[in-house]
Structure 1
Amino acid sequence: MTLSRAPDGEADGSDSAEDAPVGAPVETRPPLIIEATPLGVRAALKEMRARFGSAITADGTLGMAETVLAEVLNNIVEHAYARDRDGPIELRLAREGVWLQVDVRDYGLPMPGESLPDGRMPGPDVLADDVPEGGFGWFLIRAFARNLDYTRKANQNRLTFSVPLSEEP
């Protein structure tokens, strides 16, 4: 199974108010639990579209939200659970006004330096052959997401961010 819901009352214990970023909404639904696979990512994107597609009021914002979530989840699949590792990804989605609040957790490898990548585009003087494969994901994430926050605690990665569901206020 690539998508499941954690049973009520069986959360990992880290959902307490003191673990939530300041101003973060409290998600009343159990988290989505997906496998760290391309099919798991696809299932999560489908769920996000089903839950929040009707809240979209501006052209392109659903695509923007999907792009950010896809980049984040694919990075977890490709890097956090790299080297034939697999494991769960916990995904919490909540609407707060015109914002989609996202909380993603995994138990894979930490981010290098336990901090968010810069997400810089290569300069115009870099030859196409010298541009590394990938590397644009964090540029897109940083361009479209707001309030990015990464923490590593007790072997768990946690990334929280916001994406507008309509034109930004």
Structure 2
Amino acid sequence: MQTRIGPLPAKKPDSPILLALCLPALNVATPDILRACIKALAGSKAAPLGDDVQIVLAEAVNNIVEHAYSSLGFGALALRISLSGQSLRIDLIDWGCPFPNLSLPAGHAPEPETLSEGGYGWLLIRSLVSTLEYQRHADSNQLSLHFDLR
């Protein structure tokens, strides 16, 4: 039986945590996640990134709901936002299925003649973050999104 939730990896104490939460990985939770993130960024030096953060998180959360838990039915999603120097870091942790080949999708746009409604999420994510990392830890996935504050 697959684990659907577990402890979050430890966070370095030198990075102030603006928000840490764990919610069901359901599309109906996405607006709550986005509101909590914007509220956490308000008044910080990362506040101007609010629109980009919302777009990236909406895409990333949708991918977790639609793909990581597609064969499991449901699960949990943990989110942690921290500031460190000139960087905003968002960690998304889930206990669903890993990415194929344990690597992130390339993020190329679908061919225009296919008239695809999907397939643009990773292109958007990659274009809005400074760097992104994926790691599989035992039974969990960790997606780390970094935004440069400069």
User: Which TM-score bucket, shorter chain as reference?
Assistant: 0.7 to 0.9
Q: Is the 8 A contact 2:77 2:94 kept in 1?
A: yes
Q: 2:74 aligns with which of 79, 86, 96?
A: 86
Matched position secondary structure for 1:15: coil
The runs of 5 or more residues in structure 1 that have no matched partner are 1-10, 18-23
Report the CA distance between 1:57 and its aligned residue. Answer: 5.8
Q: 1:151 aligns with which of 132, 135, 141?
A: 135
Q: 2:64 aligns with which of 63, 73, 76?
A: 76
TM-score between the two structures when normalised by the length of structure 2: 0.82
Distance change (3 Å), C-alpha of 1:25 and 1:40 = farther
Task: Give 4+ residue runs of structure 1 displaced > 6 Å after superposition.
Answer: none
The runs of 5 or more residues in structure 2 that have no matched partner are 1-5
The aligned residue for residue 47 of structure 1 is 36
Report the AA paired with residue 127 of structure 2: A
Percent identity over paired residues? 31
Report the CA distance between 1:98 and its aligned residue. Answer: 4.4
Report the AA paired with residue 91 of structure 1: L
Q: Is the 8 A contact 2:20 2:78 kept in 1?
A: yes
Q: 2:121 aligns with which of 131, 137, 148?
A: 137
The aligned residue for residue 12 of structure 1 is 7
Distance change (3 Å), C-alpha of 1:28 and 1:141 = closer
The aligned residue for residue 109 of structure 2 is 121
Q: How many residues are matched?
A: 144
Q: Distance in 1 between matches of 2:57 and 2:74?
A: 19
Report the AA paired with residue 148 of structure 1: L
Report Cα offsets for 1:74-106 as digits up to 9, x if no partner.
Answer: 110111111461011010111224432101100
Report the CA distance between 1:43 and its aligned residue. Answer: 1.1
Larger radius of gyration: 1
TM-score between the two structures when normalised by the length of structure 1: 0.74
Distance change (3 Å), C-alpha of 1:101 and 1:112 = same
